[in-house]
Amino acid sequence: MTMGRRVTILVTFSVAVAVLATSMAGYLMTRLSLYSQLDNQLTALARYMSTPISNGASDFGELNSGALQVSEVTVTLVRADGSVQNTPGAVVTVPTGPEELAVARTQQGTSARTITDSSGVPTRIVSVPLTINGDDYALVMGRSLDSTEATLHSLWLVLVAIGLLGILITAITGYLAARSATQPILDLSQAVKRVTRTDKLDPIPVRSSDELGQLATSFNTMLSSLASSRDRQRRLIADASHELRTPLTSMRTNVELLLADQKTGMLPEAARGEILTDIAAQLGEFSSLIGDLVQLSRDDAMSRTPEPLELSEVVTKAVERAQRRGPGITFDVSLAPHPMMGDPATLERAVTNLLDNAVKFSPAEGTVTVQMVDDKVIVWDQGPGIAEEDLPHIFERFYRSDRSRNTPGTGLGLSIVAHTVTSHNGWIKASRAPGGGAMFTMSLPVVAPPKSEEHDTAEAE
């Protein structure tokens, strides 16, 4: 059973119970009111007729039995000794009982009850005390309930008809409301099935701004994130396969030459040495490319927990690594305190990539400048710099400018830097240094690390 159907049934059942309870209460209250009104009328009539009847008890004060019959009123006297006297010529009589006899004997209070008269018609009777010539009586007045019951029957039919109509309208309204309320959930379910069946990450329509609308919006955000992640994965695989093909093809060619020379022995020893040197260089390029790809895949897939660190210490370690790779390069380093929250390993690799890039393009005796100013880390070199047309693409994966085609590298270093800085809520830009060369400005937010528990305890003491 669907949620919409369950909601419809629950609402309809609740309304049906409410309508039934209201109808029963209305019917009973109306019935009590009509009976009370009839009792009051009969009691008032009995008290009014007490005087003429007491003056002529034998003929009931000359009451016309025909007129009483037309008005559907019966008059009966019940004596204290239990004898009963009906109006002369009465066609319909009412049975009396202990209630009326008690009123006659005690001469106090009144009684009212429903009986069935001699003709089988439900009748309402009331009794009031009456004294005639020193004898105690109870004057019993009765009236047929046919008109009252007809009114109550009509009321019951009206209540049933209106109740059924209300339940029907409620069921239809509940169904429409449940369908409207559960439509976002149905859209969400169908979207999940569509994604599973077709692998298409199409967004679902957002029909409201309530909780269900927010759920649909969150689902669309998830689909967008999945689509973006899948596009990045496909692009990474496509670019990686393209970049891996070149060193693999060159390596295969060199290996085939060596295998062929093993049979023929036609290659001179110098040529064999050059081929082996090329293979070693290609293996190094291949290993570097695989390492960068693994790093990118980890950065995309993993979410590291940030920890308090001092960025200047991270930069110092990266400079030490870069100095070992460029022994002839001079490093002009100016550091400043920079506390923040982040991952020291990825940040050190990002700064190292910037320094390796500067070392690679610097002249033999060049200088690489590293400065920390405010929340920025600035690295620039004295190399050829970056062409204006290359600046917008410098951080794209596998992008290689025309100037760097013949230099070693994978084209992934700067994209790793950009990814790391972005994941730390910072930004990075590339530009041309004032004196020539490339300049990279990396900005990371300065965040004071939280105080440790030991420090807090020491302060408390």
The 10s digit of each residue's pLDDT in 286-307 is: 776 676 666 666 555 445 678 8
CA distance readout (Å), 110 to 104, 114, 414: 10, 14, 107
Does the pLDDT of residue 459 top 70, yes or no?
no
CATH for 307-443 is 3.30.565.10
Q: In this predicted model, what pLDDT tens digit does every residue of 280-291 receive, in sequence order?
A: 877 776 776 676
Q: What is the DSSP letter of 308?
A: E
Average of per-residue pLDDT across 374-384: 88
Instruction: State the Cα–Cα distance between residues 461 and 456, nearest whole angstrom.
Output: 9
Right CATH for 211-301 from 3.30.70.520, 3.40.47.10, 1.10.287.130, 1.10.3720.10 = 1.10.287.130
Domains of the chain by residue range: 3-150, 211-301, 307-443
CATH 3.30.450.20 fits 3-150, yes or no: yes
Local structure of 112: helix, strand or coil: strand
Helices 344-361 + 413-423 axis angle, to 10: 150
Q: Residue 94 CB: number of other CB atoms within 10 A?
A: 24
Q: In this predicted model, what pLDDT tens digit does every residue of 77-130 receive, in sequence order?
A: 888 988 888 877 677 788 889 999 999 999 898 999 999 888 888 989 999 998
- The torsion defined by the Cα of 400, 403, 409 and 411, in degrees rounded to 10, comes to -20
Q: Compute and round to an integer the Cα radius of gyration of the chain.
A: 52
Instruction: State the Cα–Cα distance between residues 359 and 403, nearest whole angstrom.
Output: 15
With a threshold of 0.75, does the pTM exceed it?
no
pLDDT band at 460 (very low <50, low <70, confident <90, very high): very low
Does the pLDDT of residue 29 top 90, yes or no?
yes
Local structure of 39: helix, strand or coil: helix
Q: Which helix (H) or strand (E) holds 137?
A: strand 135-144
The set of residues, in sequence order, having a beta carbon less than 8 Å from that of 161 and lying 6+ positions away, is: none
3-state helix, strand, coil in the chain (%, to 5): 60, 15, 25
pLDDT band at 399 (very low <50, low <70, confident <90, very high): low
Burial of 337 (0-12, 13-18, 19+ CB in 10 A): exposed
Asked whether the beta carbons of 148 and 35 are under 8 A apart, the reply is yes
